[in-house]
Every structure is written in C-alpha cells, then in structure tokens.
C-alpha cells in the first residue's frame, strides 16, 4: 500500500490507514504496540495539561522497538493529534474527543483481532477433533473387520483362498492377468 504524506491526510484518513496497517501485523507485536499506544493516549487524556505525556522521544528504546517497528504505529499517534518535531513527536493542541476516538478504534481493533484468533483456534481444534474421530472410526472398522475375519475362519468348512500367484508358484507368473489384473480400468 502506498501511503501519502501523513501530514496532508485528514484525521479520519490517518486513522483508517493506521488501523488497516496495524491489522497487517502479527498478533503479539500488534498487542504490545497497541497497548503502548493506548497507554500514551490514555495518559494524555488523563492529564491533558501535563507536557511530559504530550511529548515522546522517537529515540526512546521502548517506543522504537515496540511502536515504530509496528506497521501503522506511528500513524496511529499522528491520527490522535501528535505531530513530528525533530527527534520527538509532540501534541501541542489536546483534542480529547479526537484522542478518545483513536483509543476506541484501537480497542476495537484488538477485540476484533482477539475474536479472529479465537475463531481460528476453534476451527483448528474442530478440524483436529474431526480428524481424530475419523482415525478412531477407521481403527474401529479395521478391528471389526479383523474380528469378523477371525470368526469366519473358525466356521466349519472354511478354506483359505489361494491367490493366483500362490497357485502358480510365483515363478511362473509372466503377465498381469496371471495375478488377476485384467487391465480394464473402472
């Protein structure tokens, strides 16, 4: 996906693109990055006048490793109202409703991802259970067939079937029809 300059996009576009990019990440990094982003945004909402919550150094190891490596992580903060300023991103004007919309969207993204992951796990568990049931049924049918065969051998007058190969002695087999294969398909 080719992204336009995030400073030119409107807030809704930034949020939509950020959410789409975030959703492309694997679950574990997504959870860690979104949790950090939520913590940052919730701190700003809790204390909008506190400057330490409205400035984040982009060189901070945790931010760099958790949020900047996450596709869409930076853009989520920009959608909340942060702007890039040198080696930091800052929020000069605190727009609490805007931040709360981003917080709600991020929480919804995490909930949707959790539901998808749970559905995928349930589907996988169902497939494994079905496969196991099929194996148990096949084993049961095989045991039943073996016990039926054993019972029929104990019946009076039972005689073993001799294959064509055994009847000819094995060494005199020269064609496929000698062993009962006629070559007719289906």
The tens digit of pLDDT for each residue in 7-58 reads 456 778 888 999 899 988 888 888 999 999 999 999 999 999 898 899 999 8
pTM, rounded to two decimals? 0.64
- Confidence label for 105 from pLDDT (cuts 50, 70 and 90): very high
Q: Distance between CA 150 and CA 6 in Å, rounded? A: 77
Average pLDDT over residues 110-120: 90
Q: Distance between CA 31 and CA 106 in Å, rounded? A: 10
The closest of 69, 79, 62 to 14, measured between CA atoms, is: 79
Phi/psi class of residue 157: alpha, beta or left (left: φ > 0; alpha: ψ in -120 to 50)? left
Q: What are phi and psi of 161, to 5 degrees?
A: -80, 135
Q: Using N-to-C axis directions, what is the helix angle for 27-46 and 73-80, rounded to 10°? A: 20
């Amino acid at each position: 996906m080719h992204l336009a300059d995030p400073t030119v996009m409107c807030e809704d576009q930034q949020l939509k693109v950020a959410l789409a990019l975030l959703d492309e990440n694997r679950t574990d990094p997504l959870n860690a990055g979104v949790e950090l982003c939520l913590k940052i945004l919730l701190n700003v909402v809790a204390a909008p006048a506190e400057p330490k919550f409205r400035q984040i150094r982009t060189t901070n190891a945790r931010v760099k490793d958790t949020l900047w490596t996450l596709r869409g992580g930076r853009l989520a903060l920009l959608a909340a109202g942060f702007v890039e300023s040198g080696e930091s991103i800052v929020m000069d004007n605190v727009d609490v409703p805007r931040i709360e919309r981003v917080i709600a969207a991020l929480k919804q993204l995490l909930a949707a991802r959790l539901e998808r992951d749970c559905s995928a796990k349930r589907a996988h568990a169902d497939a494994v259970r079905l496969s196991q049931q099929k194996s148990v049924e096949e084993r049961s049918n095989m045991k039943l067939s073996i016990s039926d065969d054993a019972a029929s051998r104990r019946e009076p007058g039972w005689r073993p079937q001799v294959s064509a190969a055994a009847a000819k002695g094995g060494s005199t087999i020269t064609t496929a029809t000698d062993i009962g294969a006629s070559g007719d398909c289906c």
